[in-house]
Chains A and B, each alone.
Chain A
Amino acid sequence: MPIISISNLSKSFSDGTNALDDVNLEVNEGEIIALLGPNGAGKTTLISAICGLLKYDSGRIKVNGYDTVTEYRRTRKLIGLVPQEIMLEPFETVYDTIRFTRGMFGYPENKELLNNILQKLSLFDKRKQMIKELSGGMKRRVMIAKALSHSPKILFLDEPTAGVDVELRRDMWNVVGSLKSKGVTIVLTTHYIEEAEMMADRIALLNKGQIIFVENKESLMARMGKKELTINFQSPISSIPEALSKYKLALSQDQFSLIYSYDNKASRTGITRLMRDIASTNLILQDLKTSQSSLEDIFVRMIRN
């Protein structure tokens, strides 16, 4: 059973914006799924609908088998949310604010656990400080600490690294990594495709309120990812030699190399034959390089289509 299952979810705002359009999505327990998509795609709206921040027009959301509207107490208890924006009470101390969240989720204070969370996020020294005295990065850490205060089974991170310094980003991914190893399911949205590429098990692409696809990251890269072999020569070549005309080759701008595109999942890539044919010409090899298209390339291509 998927831990989150969304069926036929639609939502339009009172101004007529169709933010979600018949969304279907399943999230498996323990996985990291990245929601990607351009600004305004509906990522935040989707998360908000699951977490109870807004009402939706039609469809159904189940978390751990329970309906998020009629059985909200059961579903929300499992969820921790780090919203896109920093929203904190300025006149509260760091410790008090995470204790507040834990209380809201129905748990008694647990000093050891809360201090532990603060330590992991390098907030322990600041626990008695008021929020208003913290820097932006520290506030973001507090937002994460709040979301973890009730040990959720599912964590939503809405653009957690937007405008965040390198150190925090690293700490954040460490936390995400350790949560994953404890079996926590993580749903994140990000603009940084490298991050999704690095962290996620699966990728869902949203555009204009619709899910374009959901796919395993590896299979996506393999299916969509073309590989390129760049063959460098010692001296420039003015045109592609006759002997190589049967291959799909492109000549680089500086004329020092040929670029061969191939499908790395195909049973025969044609590389061996190509190399043999190159050897039969009088071209002298300088270097070889292969590269794989990134998720970013893939998405730019997909959204354009």
Chain B
Amino acid sequence: MNLYAIAAIYRFEMARTFRTLVQSIISPVISTVLYFIVFGAAIGSGIQTIEGIHYSAFIVPGLIMLTVLMQSVANASFGIYFPKFLGTIYEHLSAPVSFLEIIIGYVGAAATKSFIIGMIILITSSLFVPLNISHPVWMIALLVINCVTFSLLGFIIGILSNNFEQLNLVPMLIITPLVFLGGSFYALEMLPSFWQTVTLFNPVMYLISVFRWAFFDVADVPVFHSFLATLVFSITCTTIIYWIFKTGYKLKN
């Protein structure tokens, strides 16, 4: 293992984060607070409670997931796309670095960053509503797993993208809708039964459901299903990465 190379990439990516502190940390936090005010205070005053949980508290896990998933994808995809765009990828290709080490560097940094953002949102939320986390260890573990998996997904998107449009396309057309329709702001049973069925095909719903379970000990779908979905999703991303690595696809002529 070329640990110094992993550290170099990680350090570079984290430096990029802190260079753009406003854009990368403060802005997701502000938008979360806005969601909180709009959904929690405005709409929540009409809904009161879901499954016995105060609505303002109910949306916290979904809000964290929403931001964390989008941030993971955005960070990792930009992280690896930029060296391709600038040509500085020549260094990654000519250095004694394996593809795995490059992934650990970029995905590690992207995941770290979104984990920090997730924690900031959690702390910010707890200023608005009292939160009692039922399974704190699971909560942290799930957060970490999702940060990593979605950073992997972002890394894949960054490698496959040929231009900035493509880079934004997948997050905009696929991930954002999946996250919004994955039950961030409502319980599955609040939907008409047809949409309930449709939502069962949304992988993000499982992630949010189990994350909410870690908070409040209630879930839309059986926890086991959620774990299975998380596993399948991670394995899929890893397989794609492995294939890109094997073929050198889009990295080497």
Q: A-contacting residues of B (Cβ < 8 Å)?
A: 2, 4-5, 7-9, 11-12, 15-16, 19, 82-83, 86-88, 90-98, 248, 252-253
Contact = CB atoms under 8 A, between A and B. Distances in A.
Given A91-B19, A100-B8, A100-B12, A54 B88 contact: no
Contact of B96 (A55, A73, A88, A89): A73
Given A88-B88, A91-B19, A53 B5 contact: no
A265 B83 CA distance: 53
A232 B247 CA distance: 68
Contacts of A55: 248, 252-253
A113 B217 CA distance: 57
A101 interface: yes
19 contacts: A51-B94, A53-B90, A73-B96, A73-B98, A74-B96, A76-B95, A76-B96, A87-B87, A87-B90, A89-B83, A91-B16, A92-B15, A96-B15, A100-B11, A102-B4, A104-B5, A106-B5, A106-B96, A146-B91
Interface string A12-26: 011000000000000
Contact of B4 (A51, A79, A85, A103): A103
Interface in A96-125: 96, 99-108
A143 to B, nearest CB: 10
Contact of B86 (A73, A77, A88): A88
Given A76-B96, A77-B96, A88-B86, A101 B4 contact: no
B253 A108 contact: no
Interface string A63-99: 0000000001111110101010101111110001001
B96 A72 contact: yes
Given A77-B96, A91-B16, A107-B4, A83 B90 contact: yes
A-B complex: 9 closest residue pairs judged by Cβ atoms: A103-B8, A87-B87, A104-B95, A73-B96, A76-B96, A51-B94, A54-B253, A103-B4, A106-B2
B156 to A, nearest CB: 20
B94 A52 contact: yes
A187 to B, nearest CB: 14
Nearest to B2: A106
Contacts of A53: 90, 93-94, 252
B108 to A, nearest CB: 14
- Count chain B CB atoms within 10 A of each CB in A75, A85, A103, A108 and give the residue with the most: A103
Nearest to B16: A91
Contact of A104 (B16, B19, B86, B91): B91
Contacts of A52: 93-94
Contact of A101 (B11, B91, B253): B91
A100 B14 CA distance: 13
- Count chain A CB atoms within 10 A of each CB in B19, B86, B88, B252 and give the residue with the most: B88
A220 to B, nearest CB: 30
Contacts of A106: 2, 4-5, 95-96
Given A53-B252, A55-B252, A92 B12 contact: yes
B91 A79 contact: no
Interface string A198-229: 00000000000000000000000000000000
Contacts of B83: 89
A108 B4 contact: yes
A201 to B, nearest CB: 24
Nearest to B7: A103
Contacts of B253: 13-14, 54-55
A87 B86 contact: yes
B97 to A, nearest CB: 6
A101 B4 CA distance: 10
Interface string A39-75: 0000000000001111100000000000000001111
Contacts of A96: 12, 15
Contacts of B98: 73
Nearest to B87: A87
Interface in A108-151: 108, 146
Given A52-B94, A81-B94, A104-B2, 4 more contacts: A52-B93, A91-B16, A102-B8, A146-B91
A88 B82 CA distance: 11
B96 A103 contact: no
Nearest to A53: B93
Contacts of A108: 4
A212 B229 CA distance: 60
A73 B94 contact: no
Contacts of B90: 53, 81, 83, 87
A13 B2 CA distance: 31
Contacts of B2: 73, 104, 106
B86 A105 contact: no
A107 B96 CA distance: 11
B167 to A, nearest CB: 17
A202 B97 CA distance: 32
B220 to A, nearest CB: 43
